[in-house]
Structure 1
Amino acid sequence: MKVFITFGAGGQNYIDAGKRLIKQAKSTGYFDKIILYTEKDLKNDNEFWNQHSIFISKNKRGYGYWIWKSYIIKKTMEIMKDGDILLYLDCGCEIGDSIQLLIPRFFNDIENDKIIGTKTKNEKEWCKMDLLLHFDMQDSNLIHTSQHQAGAIMFYICEKTKFIVDLWYNTGCDYHMIDDSPSIKTNLNCFKEHRHDQAIFSLITKKYNIYSNKSLYNCIYYLRNKSGFSKLGKSDS
């Protein structure tokens, strides 16, 4: 089974963006199940909402610094079987005709690669020292490599990936690791800003060496389109 999920909350525009992306995902015909999670789903989940509602209400950025992301991925994995494939995209992303034909190539690769995503700027610039110390990675050469992004991720469902996502979520439950609170220990001189759930995800996938060098940039548009209308040209939409 192949499952596609996204999330929209914090404003009607995010929900509209999620609906737009869901429509694009359906048009591919690649997925057996497609889910748009919203604030309502989180509020109806007592396990999550009882624990994090206050944190979310006090931190509008990322609707609680994106703490929901690893959780909805975790909960979706729990209803899937080993060998299934899960694709998560931020609602700002888009899927267009011109490159969506490449998605099945990643379906073929994911069993071996386990996690395929995208990469961005240097890790050490976008991760606070306390998180580096938490994973004992402050002296690792891996912090000099590109950070693994958390806005577009494909997972092969297995014990390894479920472990990664559980650790991702549980680490973020220590809010200091996911929010913008200053690092207690001195940051590296090159530090610019903490990248929240993404920094956690990146360090974990590096520490456990479970991440592909392939890139989903080749099959999706990694945008920040916070609307229900596509920004792609007619040839791509």
Structure 2
Amino acid sequence: MKTLFVTFGGGEKRYRAAARRIARQASDTGLFCDTWAVTDLDMYNFAPRLGEHRPFIERSPHGYGYWLWKPYLLDAACNAGFDHVVYADAGCVLNLSSRTPRSRLQDYLELATEHGITLMALQHPERQYTKRDTWECIGLTDEQLDQPQCVGGVLTLRADRAPDLLREWIRWCTTDNYHLLDDSPSALPELPEFVAHRHDQTILSCIAKRSELPVIADETYFDGAWDTDGATKPIWAVRHRWGTSWPIRGAARRLRYRREVKEWKRSKTAS
């Protein structure tokens, strides 16, 4: 099977460097036939159809058009002659140096072969992170609103089965002048528990629920337990937005140190 690895990093130089860094990681594993390290500087080259929405993207810098590029980029990847596409945000790192996480990545590929896409679930329910106009328009039930939202930053797709899903994702993202995607207020009053809208991730998650796609528990984030619970999982969402390598050993210790530094800086600012 031919598998393509895709990532995106845009804006500051460090984000673009992070995209190149994880693409190098992917290439070094020997598990991928090719890698795409896409940035804001070349995203229209990789996904030419995205150019139709350039005015919206330019006036909506947050996420480069609220991450509208993602379904377009994945659609282009699925039409590039590969069997599978693995997508991970540039802030992720790959934990693929040993047999067990490599085997788990193979599980993701097999799930995608069966269902078109492998999706993971976060801890928070849909009703907290989907604005009302979006879930009303897509047609979620009360029961589905109580189900956890899906992860949008790590996805595995079967190239010949995912295009219908991707086209629907694009359709909802661009409906009503991008209203279901962006941060414009809902016409309908929000639920009391609503926290924030999650844009492309929200719409993908709503489609998955309405289509009754299977979802596995999140295997990308292990706060304080990267070296234990995360040791057997292939993709870590550590938000390492730099071009430097991220040695897997001691990951939990480094993340704890990073949090402590941030807390110290906040305390100094407050004082």
User: 1:68-217 maps to which residues of 2 (within 5 A)?
Assistant: 68-80=69-81, 84-96=83-95, 97=97, 100-101=101-102, 102-120=104-122, 121-137=124-140, 139-159=141-161, 161-174=162-175, 175-213=178-216, 215-217=218-220
2: CA distance, partners of 1:136 / 1:233 = 42
2: CA distance, partners of 1:142 / 1:31 = 35
- Given the two structures, how large is their TM-score scaled by the length of structure 1? 0.89
Render the CA deviation track for 1:113-163: whole Å, top value 9, x for unaligned: 4321322111100001100111121x341110110111000012234x211
2: CA distance, partners of 1:144 / 1:232 = 38
Render the CA deviation track for 1:167-201: whole Å, top value 9, x for unaligned: 11121123111111111111111101011000000
2: CA distance, partners of 1:204 / 1:114 = 13
1: CA distance, partners of 2:245 / 2:148 = 29
In structure 2, the residue matched to 1:20 is 21
Where in structure 2 are there 5+ consecutive unaligned residues?
A: 221-232, 252-271
In structure 2, the residue matched to 1:223 is 238
- Given the two structures, how large is their TM-score scaled by the length of structure 2? 0.78
The structural deviation recorded for 1:219 is 1.9
**Stretch deviating more after TM superposition (70-79 or 207-216):** 207-216
2: CA distance, partners of 1:43 / 1:198 = 21
2: CA distance, partners of 1:164 / 1:216 = 22
- Aligned residues, how many? 231
- Aligned-partner SS, 2:127: helix
AA aligned to 1:222 is A
- Aligned-partner SS, 2:165: helix
State which structure, 1 or 2, has the greater radius of gyration over its C-alpha atoms. Answer: 2
AA aligned to 1:227 is W
In structure 1, the residue matched to 2:266 is none
In structure 1, the residue matched to 2:258 is none
Where in structure 1 are there 5+ consecutive unaligned residues?
A: none
**Stretch deviating more after TM superposition (182-191 or 93-102):** 93-102
- In structure 2, relative to structure 1, the CA distance for the partners of 1:190 and 1:222 (3 Å cut) is same
Render the CA deviation track for 1:23-74: whole Å, top value 9, x for unaligned: 111121111121112223334465322x222222222211211010111001
AA aligned to 1:187 is E
Instruction: Indicate the structure whose relative CO is greater, using CA pairs within 8 Å and at least 6 residues apart.
Output: 1
2: CA distance, partners of 1:74 / 1:144 = 29
- In structure 2, relative to structure 1, the CA distance for the partners of 1:21 and 1:143 (3 Å cut) is same
- Aligned-partner SS, 2:49: helix
- In structure 2, relative to structure 1, the CA distance for the partners of 1:209 and 1:22 (3 Å cut) is same
Residues 151 and 218 of structure 2 are in contact (CA less than 8 Å); yes or no, is this contact kept in structure 1?
Answer: no
Residues 28 and 100 of structure 1 are in contact (CA less than 8 Å); yes or no, is this contact kept in structure 2?
Answer: no
Residues 152 and 216 of structure 1 are in contact (CA less than 8 Å); yes or no, is this contact kept in structure 2?
Answer: no
Residues 89 and 154 of structure 2 are in contact (CA less than 8 Å); yes or no, is this contact kept in structure 1?
Answer: yes
1: CA distance, partners of 2:218 / 2:116 = 13
1: CA distance, partners of 2:204 / 2:170 = 9
Residues 85 and 156 of structure 2 are in contact (CA less than 8 Å); yes or no, is this contact kept in structure 1?
Answer: yes
The alignment's C-alpha RMSD in Å is 2.0
In structure 2, the residue matched to 1:36 is 37
2: CA distance, partners of 1:77 / 1:140 = 33
